[in-house]
Chains A and B, each alone.
Chain A
């Protein structure tokens, strides 16, 4: 019986002198894995135009009905995205979202990406709804913010050239 007590205490003593595994969040943040699915971001092209074309396929794919999209039409005087159409309203209810990533899979222009941010907490329900302004990434260094005024005739396709999913 004495032997068992020593054995147990030995385990305790061993851990007493090992460095702790607890991370002092929020002072210290652990890096997330490559395939971690955190808060969504709406991406831009290098020239600053939005990738989102307002097709609402993300909303259709969403199993939690967390996404709401309303589209409007681009013009060369007020251009948000390269095609004919852009999302004038884009909202994600983070309280509904289950971070499954179906929206990312459905997106034909790879505009919506589940990034690494996971710090999502709210004081009330209304602030759990992330609007387009909150979701869209900053304008790249060499880009211009949207809406842009562009030369007529450059963006004459209905949708930007689509790539195969990578």
Chain B
């Protein structure tokens, strides 16, 4: 591996801007770190270059640990968004800079300089000053300069950000060609998904300091794991669907249906089929709506279809809803032949089907605030914790204050305090395996303790991962064993914990710190929670036996109250 990152964390004023990022980049690979501004991607890149000190974790370049090595000794080439050329030096002097500080012999230096300028197609520009070059030329000089000392790794920080579209396109090709020619392992940071698709061997999606997922572009596009990646990499309709066995449908189940599992379905606009009549056989019916907008764009036609919230399917994200609160807009696109064969007009009623549906593996599809009365439910739904989390997860919150026969389809949310234990237990035994319990006015935590049950199964870790991805908090995977555990068995306790960590990493690309404790479970847990007053607990449940029930009941009902997410292991479910 050329570049290996292990749990890299960088904090600014105790807030992690890069949060436990682990990543491996192969020899000659070009990885694009894609994310919105403020997602920590540039900070991560600077950390790899040694321009930013990290607070936790390790950086390896070609197997050598460089975490504590100064930037100048890391052997990386770095290209900045605004070129960062030395303006008082000519193009030649800029390119030769790395060679001069290494005291290379003059003849060798000049030969290398000419070679580099040829590589970036700026042969006759060596005498010019940077101010006399266009933006594209300046950036090519910057690339040549960064490659002068034959670095093992090339890092590019939004290198095309300051350039206009046409030059950007050209420079992309140039850099891609050079990168392939030299076979240099490269990381490119950008917020532009087109750029990511155009350049990348592999894309890593960053959001709020975390590396959400990494994969080859087409796979990431077709099978994203997170809502964020699904919507950030191209347009997507996220719709709540209900899975009954192998069947997926979009009509909301009645309250009595216990077995339907709520999922988040990703339907790309180009996978939407619109018909004037019924659904073509073989396709999944999504619903019906009215054509609201038709936009001709040459090869494709972009449409927006207004869907009803009451009768049709509901979007997984609330931001698509219309102002009237009863409809939402679905995006669709059609190829030119399609629009020629069956033209639509604005206002026309159409049937919406999907050719291909990808269901997100996210275990949290929506939140349902549960309370005895409407006021309580609304207060719970409006708590800072839930509204912030739902906004970050792009998840909807529904409110329910009526007694029903089964748990709601999404994740139930309860208020902490008296009775919370019993209500949580009822929900856990009536059709759901996760319950979120929030104290009044709870805010997002800055530390999350993840305490799995006896077996830290993949599903439990999935729920934890889903939550952690959206909260910029430190997280610790904790295991507490009996204080009487004999010394020789302690090693196996550690192995179990590290296995769980590895599973979280492989299955959910979530990196967690681990902590192993021996002693009384309740006391050690309380101690761990007291480290930070803004702690949250993710608690794995095994059998729902009396001891376990009593433990979580006391955590939910007795002060100090903290946000607690209960996750029941599927093995223990009946």
Do A and B bind?
A: no
